[in-house]
Amino acid sequence: MKNNLVRKLAFAAMCLALALVLPFLTGQIPQIGSMLSPMHLPVLLCGFLCGGLWGALVGFITPLLRFVLFGMPPIFPTGVAMAFELCTYGLVCGLLYRALPKKPINVYVTLICAMLAGRAVWGLARFIIAGLTKTQFPLSAFLAGAFTLAVPGIILQIILVPLIVFALEKAKLTEK
């Protein structure tokens, strides 16, 4: 039991570190970073590796800690909305991966459900923030931010995350 907790803590810390560092690969061109969403990959993987609780925790603190350490993403409204989005990614990945039978197709089902749920939560957070700040967040802004402009990142996630999860499964490193 204690070894399992230590393993989850170590993997969660590694995923958090990756989520903090990966955006530097695209940091010179913010539009590319927005399209590829490099912070999302380690959070999604954390859910698969460590379960929903750890995935949610890593997801929530990643954009907030990244703002404190590096000043990016801007904390409000971007970082706050991202915190809820990434929290949802980690939580849904961890819960569904644990609940569904261990079949390759269910890695994709888990990932796609997490991506849809996270984007919906991001949209809801942005809508609530817009209401509190008396700004606008129309449906067109949600669709552009969650889907249209994010297509490269969505494709990257659908390709890379399952490949990594399959390799981790083969190495027996994923959440049971």
Fold of 2-22+37-170: Arp2/3 complex 21 kDa subunit ARPC3 (1.10.1760)
- Averaged over 94-123, what is the pLDDT? 96
Strands (E), the chain: none
User: Sorting pLDDT into bands at 50, 70 and 90, what band is 149?
Assistant: confident
CB 72 within 8 A of CB 27: yes
User: Sorting pLDDT into bands at 50, 70 and 90, what band is 71?
Assistant: very high
CB 93 within 8 A of CB 111: yes
Residue range 138-147, pLDDT digits in tens: 888 888 888 8
- Averaged over 53-74, what is the pLDDT? 96
The whole-chain average pLDDT of the chain stands at 92
pTM over 0.85: yes
